[in-house]
Chain A
Amino acid sequence: MTRDTRNGWVAGVLAGLGDRVGVDPLVLRIAFVIAAVATGGLLLLAYLVAWAALPAAEGGSAPVARFSRVARVRGDWRVAVGAGLLTLSALLAFRQLGIWWSDAIAWPLALAAFGVALLWVRSPRRAALPADGQAPHVEPPRPSPEARPRRAGSKLAEEYSGAFGVLLVVGAALLFLSSNHVLGGVRDAALTAVVVIVALGLILAPFLWRFGRNLAAERAKRIRSEERAEVAAHLHDSVLQTLTLMQKRADDPREVASLARRQERELRDWLAGGGRSDNGERSLASELRSAAEAIEDDHRVAIESIVVGDCGLDTRADAVLGAAREALLNAARHSGDSGPIRVYAEIDDAGIALFVRDRGSGFDPGTVPSDRRGVRESIVGRMERAGGRADIRSSPGGGTEVAIEIARSDAAAREPT
């Protein structure tokens, strides 16, 4: 949640809250004024706390964060507990000083506020939209949630905090009713209801238990069946179609090999869970794979690529991609039937190292005519302009290796290796 200072009257807290919950800020303002009067001005304190803790929607950090590193540790449970205890301390101090409306109102309100805060934290956040004319920020793809094992403890803590929030709000409501002596008549009815529910629960427990187990078994069976159907559909659409195509073109070994490799690639991607990000983000690893696949298809050569790590496409990564593509094209054109072209790329925070090797006839780099600009400009020159380097190691009959290296940032380039 943020403060909407553009549409706000004072600090934009209520305008931001209205935007978050989808309620007209004017309604919230009227409710706030009434509640502030009813609580003897206590809500003004809450408004001040909200102003200090919330960042403005236009950017920048919260006022309190300017004096600390709050932005970095947002969500830390110790900050939450500390803020809760300090608020409690302030409330107790106000009570001691006599700036207090009534125990029957203030404590239930405080409890309810904590409960709602806990529930609020668990509610799904609204996706941040980029401002007009501003390109959305693209981060390098991260491993999918399935690939990142989620700790059972954190999930349990989330569930627990949600249940605790509900309990706090219900407790606050009961406390309010009890302090206003409304619960007396309700108590008998509630006791009767509780006894009836417990009795019904005891009677129905075996049935409910069996029902629950059957439901779980049914669900597991349905999931297995759906998975089997999905695998069958994929095999039919891809592998079987390719096998049929290979039978038809059995007289062309290169075409058959190309089809087999394409199918192998697709199957490996599918088994690895998709292989590339589904949200359309471009990354160096996925672009390298795409380039290798395109060259494989166009030139009917085999390219074995291993890419370790990944990063987004910036100027340096673009230079590496362009140089790698040129090196692959050269290898595909000149290596002939000397076996697969091998690409190995290692991407980490410090830099990118990429090697393209082939076992072709090779060449003497010193004898390349000056009008041939493919190696000189598209590989070596491109990398030097981007702040990296490219080495061509080749000898007649000994194959060719293109080694490309670049630091990810100027700071990384200055560090000794």
Chain B
Amino acid sequence: MRREVKVDPVSLASGAVIAALGALLLVDSAGGLHLSLGWMAVVLTGAVGAIFMLSGLLGGSGGKNPE
């Protein structure tokens, strides 16, 4: 009997963005990169913006009044 596996695309995409952010910070702390405060702001706002955007594009009603 096959079991249906449902993948939540929002969680998957958001997880991928956060994993990429974590990897970037790891490389930075390992000395491979030298992220300044300005570039950190770019990366953080980009990551949060991407998660919001993905959630809005792929997600459900977002708490809107169903009509």
Interface residues of A (CB under 8 A from B): 68-70, 73, 76-90, 92-93, 95-96, 148, 151, 154
Contacts and interface: CB of A to CB of B under 8 A. Distances in A.
28 contacts: A69-B57, A70-B57, A73-B56, A77-B62, A78-B52, A78-B59, A78-B62, A79-B52, A79-B57, A80-B56, A82-B56, A83-B53, A85-B45, A85-B48, A86-B45, A86-B46, A86-B49, A86-B53, A87-B49, A89-B42, A89-B46, A90-B46, A92-B38, A92-B41, A92-B42, A92-B45, A96-B36, A148-B67
A306 to B, nearest CB: 26
Contacts of A154: 65
Interface string B24-66: 0000000000001011011101101111111111110010110
A215 to B, nearest CB: 32
Contact of A73 (B39, B43, B57): B57
Nearest to A94: B42
A70 B57 CA distance: 6
The 7 closest A-B pairs by CB, nearest first: A85-B49, A82-B53, A78-B56, A82-B52, A79-B56, A89-B46, A86-B49
Contacts of B62: 73, 76-78
Given A69-B57, A82-B55, A151-B65, A93 B42 contact: yes
A82 B51 contact: yes
A212 B45 CA distance: 45
B52 A85 contact: yes
A93 B48 CA distance: 15
A68 to B, nearest CB: 5
B42 A78 contact: no
A88 B43 CA distance: 11
B61 to A, nearest CB: 8
Contact of A83 (B38, B43, B49, B64): B49
A68 B45 contact: no
Given A86-B46, A88-B45, A154-B65, A79 B53 contact: yes
B3 to A, nearest CB: 25
B38 A89 contact: no
A205 B7 CA distance: 59
Given A87-B49, A151-B65, 20 more contacts: A70-B57, A73-B59, A73-B62, A76-B64, A78-B53, A81-B52, A82-B51, A82-B53, A82-B54, A84-B49, A85-B48, A85-B49, A86-B45, A86-B50, A89-B45, A89-B46, A92-B38, A93-B46, A96-B36, A96-B39
Scoring B48, B50, B56 by chain A CB atoms within 10 A of each residue's CB, the highest score goes to: B56
A82 B45 contact: no
A96 B56 contact: no
B57 A85 contact: no
Nearest to A95: B38
Contacts of B53: 78-79, 82-83, 86
Nearest to B59: A78
B65 A85 contact: no
A89 B45 CA distance: 5
A70 B39 CA distance: 29
B57 to A, nearest CB: 5
A331 to B, nearest CB: 38
A99 to B, nearest CB: 13
B41 to A, nearest CB: 5
Given A73-B56, A76-B56, A93-B42, A82 B65 contact: no
Contact of B46 (A69, A76, A85, A95): A85
A377 to B, nearest CB: 41
A160 B53 CA distance: 22
B57 A96 contact: no
B39 to A, nearest CB: 6
Contacts of A88: 45, 49
Scoring A69, A85, A151 by chain B CB atoms within 10 A of each residue's CB, the highest score goes to: A85
Nearest to B36: A96
